[in-house]
Amino acid sequence: MTEPAPSGLQITIVDHPLTRAWLAVLRDESTPNPAFRNALARIATMLVYEAFSDAPEEPVAVTTPVGTAPCTRLVSPPLFVPVLRAGLGMLDAALAAVPDAGIGFVGVARDEATAVPVEYLASLPQDLRGRSVCVLDPMLATGGSLVHTLDLILARGATDVTAVSVVGAPEGVAALRTWGKPLKLVIGAVDECLNESKFIVPGLGDAGDRQFGPR
């Protein structure tokens, strides 16, 4: 389901039996860390496939064992930018789908007292003009970390930007609408709300802690 918005935000909710099944594994509080990482990679694969459903292609001729086949390839491999640390669990799946992609990193920690994002790493090419960028961030809660990352990317000249998240809250989606820049958001589900601690309800907990353990 794709929902365009006048703000320039285009939302695609990947509501599919397989994404719903893997999301159930992620939501279950009894899922151990290794199984959580596996489920995150599986659902990330499906979300990334959807994110590139309209990627520009160019024709190529491929020689097969018995002839020549007309095929296509991506015009320009993207730059994947996982938001650390939780986004790391989506990176291998994204690279499996697009092996020629580049990689950048943005590290953002949430101040637990204020819920304000605090940047501790930004490793990105200085010039992103003309390059497709795909941000990987499992949780879209307040939207603060994602908007911070998007600002860094746009400041380097990027205009073709996609964000891929597993679960979001209406408040996070609203923050992206308020941000107002052109953006494609591909997401597995938009949940009910944020609680007083700014966690998504029902959500799946802290995606970083559930992959790697508490800090």
Residue with tokens 């690279």: 95
> Is 209 a residue of the active site?
yes
CA 90-93-94 angle, to 5 degrees, is: 80
The secondary structure of residue 8, as a DSSP letter, is S
Of 37, 42, 159, 209, the active-site residue reads: 209
Of 20, 114, 151, 178, the active-site residue reads: 114
Q: CB neighbours of 181 closer than 8 A, spacing ≥ 6? A: 8, 150, 154, 161
Of 42, 85, 177, 206, the active-site residue reads: 206
Q: What is the CB-side half-sphere exposure of residue 198 using CA atoms within 13 A?
A: 16
> Is 114 a residue of the active site?
yes
Of 27, 110, 156, 177, the active-site residue reads: 110
Q: How many CB atoms lie within 10 A of CB 178?
A: 11
The DSSP bridge pattern shows strands 79-84 and 105-110 to be parallel
Structure tokens at 16: 């599919």
Identify whether the C-beta of residue 5 lies closer than 8 Å to the C-beta of residue 174: no
Q: How many CB atoms lie within 10 A of CB 207?
A: 24
Measured between alpha carbons, how far is 71 from 168 in angstroms, rounded to an integer?
36
Amino acid at 180: G
Point out the residues that are catalytic: 110, 114, 206, 209
